[in-house]
Amino acid sequence: NLHDPPATWWQWEPGGEYLRKAVADREPPFWDPFIAAGAPAMANLTSTFFFPPYFLLILLGNGVVLKNVYFLSLLAFAGFFTYVLLRRSSLEVIPSLFGASAFMLSGALNKNVGSFLGQTLCCLPFLMFTARAFVDRPNWRASGLLAIGFGCVALSSFPPLLMAIFGVTALFIALAVFQSTRPRIRRSTLLRASVGAGLALGLVAIYYLPAFSALARTTQVKSLYATAGAETLSPGSFFELLGPGVVGGSDRLTDPPVRNPTRNRAIPYLSVTALLLASFAAPGGDDRRRRALTWTAIAATVLVATKLIGWYPVHWIAFLPVFKTIHFAVYFGNLLDFTIALLAAVGLSRLLSGQVSRLQIGTGSVVLVGFVLSLRPYAESLQDPGHIRAWSWVPVWWLFIATAAVSILLSWSTVRLPGRQTRVLVGAALVVMASAEGVRSNALPRQRRWEVWRNPPQYVARLVDAAAGGREMAIGVFTSNASSAFGVFGLDSMMAFNPSRIYALYHRYASATRSLFLRGATALPPEGVLDRAGVQAVLIANGLPDVVRDAHARGFELKWTDDFVSVFRRPGAPRFFFSSEYSVAPDGNTALELVGQLQNPRLVVVEGALPNPSLPNQLDDPAVQLIHFRRNSVKVSVTAPRPGLVYFSESHDPGWLATVNGAPEPVLLANYAFRAVAVPAGPSEIEMTYVPPGFRLGALLSGVSALAVAALVFAGGTRPDDPRRPERPIEA
């Protein structure tokens, strides 16, 4: 029941396989040579390489059973820390169980837990608990532990959601700190919290500085996401909080019975019972911990809800630098499940302790019934009457009515039948009801366990044979990072930060559809482009007969076909070759056009004059010999008959350094998007190595931060006789 299956199957899972193989080969996962003719791997973040629990999963083999255990463990992790956060905030056992189960079984987690999005979201209760523990004992040792906790969560890697969960946690710390009546304690606590947060940033600098560098040089990301923050949702999207599929099943069905199946995907389901109890929450009372939690949940709910539907002044954030590139409408709705679950726990606590008046129960009941009843006309307005599953949501709607009725009756029973035993039974019944709603919402037909990365389709093996170490071009099929998982060199890419020039080349000659990724090819590029990219195998979906005919017309050799795809092998230039024949383009745009017009497969287009004149290539020019090819380095040798260039059909990106016979040599832009190195006449060994820009500075900052954190943890505790030491908090 995934919210974004392509993010899982096309990005995260292939990234996990890439990392598993890199670890087995004892190579750092800096560069992925199998996608986009080469692209930064670690700097793309969506692979979440170094989140500690995920990295352990990779080390243990990354198999299907392990993945299932990992996903279920993430859910249990989120539920457990929601429970201990509520207990640490002075809530009783039953309300804490309610909040934990409501969030653990919510759509925010269960629709996303199989992806990097869910992995990050599962860390929110842990962040809040860590913050609560810090505020309870704000000494320097706690600052160090806060830095470790925050740093580990930051490695879960999904930046938009990280910004959201850290924002909620920062709000929680601020509200908790200002509950203190002593200004000196407030100042010292905020100082130590700021130090902990700063050290957390330092700890992950080794991971994030390369990502920021990649983002800065990836121009297509900036242009395509320039207005992402301004996207909003219809207020009707909030109906999805009641349960999945209530407005057409857009998250469960590949062919939903609604006219616009994507309009309500961003706010995942919670439960009817939780919505009722959340209406009973209030920030009153003398307990500072409970008050801080309640105000945080209320403020976060209001801010997120108003931003999602575009209400000002909150919506102004969509036009600020950085924030304008975030898809609030896609990701931030997940926060509502957590904040409403917290409010529901507070509301249940007040209900069971007799603090909710008849007026409050009545008001909450009327609002809930009105909300559920108004769902029907809204769902009818979306319905496609001619669809085979039209009106399939009606039984679910009646179930919501029944659930609301039972929840309201149970709530009224705490007033009509007072007594501790009655209230305990009512609380337990409400926990069971919310849990049953969650189980029903998450229940889907069980899929067969299958590991496609270890059991690839037959055409993958044929493709590897046809490519014979060269690159493949996929059209209409295989358009993901699957090439990385299978170890096939390809041009497609689902990375966010692809080298800008390979991106422009791909969309100029292979796909007119402008998107962030390198996919959607609909035509064979010119032969000159295929030669420059080192393409030796072509995979074409048989559903594109015109492209298949074009491959036959160009003389490509058909190696294998079935009802689904055809695999061709084409003659062309090798991936590495020597050339002394080049053409100088005055700028990148000219080079991009020239590459598509070239007939000579070994002519190299450069941008800027070279010290040696262009000389015609000869038929007996020696081949470039490959000594080794690794993820972050490649080494070749050639005995050049005259000065010239050694060409690499690998994408050009800052971070690549070259040596010729051990001496540094500039890496040249060649054929618009690829690399070349000048060599003298005679024997030469050329080695290229890659280190992500920003990595060395990041490593330095992370090392210094780690030393500072260690010093705080081992030497920064509060003395037992310190009069400023706060009282022992309520045990979880």
pLDDT in tens, 512-544: 677 788 988 889 999 999 999 999 999 999 999
Q: Could you give the 3-state DSSP secondary structure of residue 662?
A: coil
Note the pLDDT of residue 722: 44
Q: Distance between alpha carbon 12 and the CA centroid of its chain, in Å?
A: 8
- Sequence-ordered list of residues with C-beta below 8 angstroms from that of 334, at least 6 positions apart, any chain: 108, 112, 117, 121, 161, 268
Helix (H) / strand (E) containing 183: helix 183-203
Which residue in 346, 488, 354, 147 sits closest to 155, CA to CA? 147
If one counts every other C-beta atom within 10 angstroms of the C-beta of residue 312, the result is 9
Which residue in 672, 616, 664, 673 sits closest to 644, CA to CA? 616
Estimate the crossing angle of helix 205-217 against helix 183-203, to 10 degrees: 70
Note the pLDDT of residue 720: 40
How does strand 471-475 pair with strand 535-541? parallel
Q: Is the pLDDT of residue 725 over 90?
A: no
User: What letter would DSSP give residue 612?
Assistant: S
Tell me the C-alpha distance between 192 and 172, whole Å.
15
How does strand 31-32 pair with strand 656-660? unpaired
If one counts every other C-beta atom within 10 angstroms of the C-beta of residue 97, the result is 24
Residue 594 and residue 584 in contact, taking contact as beta carbons nearer than 8 Å: no
Residue 628 bridge partners (DSSP): 635
Q: Is the pLDDT of residue 730 over 60?
A: no
Helix (H) / strand (E) containing 639: strand 633-640
Tell me the C-alpha distance between 67 and 119, whole Å.
12
Give the mean model confidence (pLDDT) for residues 314-339: 90
Q: Is the pLDDT of residue 180 over 50?
A: yes
- Sequence-ordered list of residues with C-beta below 8 angstroms from that of 320, at least 6 positions apart, any chain: none
How does strand 604-606 pair with strand 625-629? unpaired
Note the pLDDT of residue 2: 67
Note the pLDDT of residue 262: 54
Note the pLDDT of residue 449: 72
* DSSP annotation string for 201-246: HHHTHHHHHHHHHHHHH-HHHHHHTTTGGG----GGGGGGGG-TTT
* β-sheet with 535-541: strand ranges across: 471-475, 535-541, 565-569, 557-561
Residue showing tokens 């969960």: 165
How many Cα neighbours within 13 Å face the side chain of 557? Answer: 12
Distances (CA, A) of 667 to 215, 302, 531: 21, 53, 20
Q: What is the per-residue burial (b if ≥16 Cβ within 10 Å, else e) of 632-655? A: bbbbbbbebbebbbbbbbbbbbeb
Note the pLDDT of residue 441: 87
pLDDT, tens only, 85-104 = 999 999 999 999 999 999 99
pLDDT, tens only, 595-618 = 999 888 899 999 988 888 899 999
The two structure tokens encoding residue 130: 């860590």
Tell me the C-alpha distance between 175 and 132, whole Å.
11
Note the pLDDT of residue 444: 75
- At 181, the pLDDT band (50, 70, 90 cuts) reads low
pLDDT, tens only, 641-686 = 999 999 999 999 999 999 999 999 999 999 999 999 999 999 999 9
The two structure tokens encoding residue 200: 């957390």
Residue showing tokens 């070279």: 610
% of the chain beyond a pLDDT of 90: 66
The two structure tokens encoding residue 405: 């009725």
Residue 573 and residue 534 in contact, taking contact as beta carbons nearer than 8 Å: yes
Residue 473 and residue 491 in contact, taking contact as beta carbons nearer than 8 Å: yes
Tell me the C-alpha distance between 582 and 617, whole Å.
10
Estimate the crossing angle of helix 124-136 against helix 159-177, to 10 degrees: 30
Note the pLDDT of residue 184: 82
The two structure tokens encoding residue 198: 């700063």
Residue showing tokens 């996929």: 474
Q: What is the per-residue burial (b if ≥16 Cβ within 10 Å, else e) of 686-696? A: bbbbbbbbbbe
Note the pLDDT of residue 264: 43
- At 285, the pLDDT band (50, 70, 90 cuts) reads confident
Note the pLDDT of residue 251: 56
Tell me the C-alpha distance between 574 and 567, whole Å.
19
Which residue in 290, 415, 438, 299 sits closest to 356, CA to CA? 415
pLDDT, tens only, 337-359 = 999 999 999 999 999 998 999 99
Note the pLDDT of residue 1: 60
Tell me the C-alpha distance between 393 and 399, whole Å.
10
The two structure tokens encoding residue 239: 């109906």
Mean pLDDT of the chain: 89
User: Which value, in Å, is the radius of gyration of the alpha carbons in the chain?
Assistant: 29
Residue 343 and residue 301 in contact, taking contact as beta carbons nearer than 8 Å: yes
CA angle 135, 137, 140 (to 5 degrees): 100
pLDDT, tens only, 124-175 = 999 999 999 999 999 999 999 999 999 999 999 888 899 999 999 999 999 9
Q: What is the per-residue burial (b if ≥16 Cβ within 10 Å, else e) of 353-374? A: eeebeeebbeebbeebeebbee
H runs (alpha helix) in 137-182: 140-154, 159-177
Q: What is the per-residue burial (b if ≥16 Cβ within 10 Å, else e) of 323-345? A: bbbbebbbbbbbbbbbbbbbbbb
- At 727, the pLDDT band (50, 70, 90 cuts) reads very low
pLDDT, tens only, 487-502 = 999 999 999 899 999 9
pLDDT, tens only, 298-311 = 999 999 999 999 99
Selected residue with higher pLDDT from 417 and 209:
209
Which value, to the nearest 10 degrees, does the dihedral of the CA atoms of residues 114, 443, 345, 351 take? 170
- At 420, the pLDDT band (50, 70, 90 cuts) reads confident
Note the pLDDT of residue 254: 64
Note the pLDDT of residue 501: 94
Give the mean model confidence (pLDDT) for residues 503-509: 93
pLDDT, tens only, 382-409 = 887 887 777 777 888 899 999 999 999 9
- Sequence-ordered list of residues with C-beta below 8 angstroms from that of 160, at least 6 positions apart, any chain: 326, 327, 331, 332
Which residue in 128, 141, 143 sits closest to 174, CA to CA? 128
Note the pLDDT of residue 249: 55
Which residue in 259, 340, 269, 347 sits closest to 299, CA to CA? 340
On whether the pTM is more than 0.85, the answer is yes
Tell me the C-alpha distance between 411 and 257, whole Å.
36
Give the mean model confidence (pLDDT) for residues 233-252: 77
User: What letter would DSSP give residue 692?
Assistant: -
Which residue in 253, 154, 159 sits closest to 214, CA to CA? 159
Note the pLDDT of residue 122: 96
The two structure tokens encoding residue 111: 């629709």
Note the pLDDT of residue 261: 54
Q: Could you give the 3-state DSSP secondary structure of residue 502?
A: helix
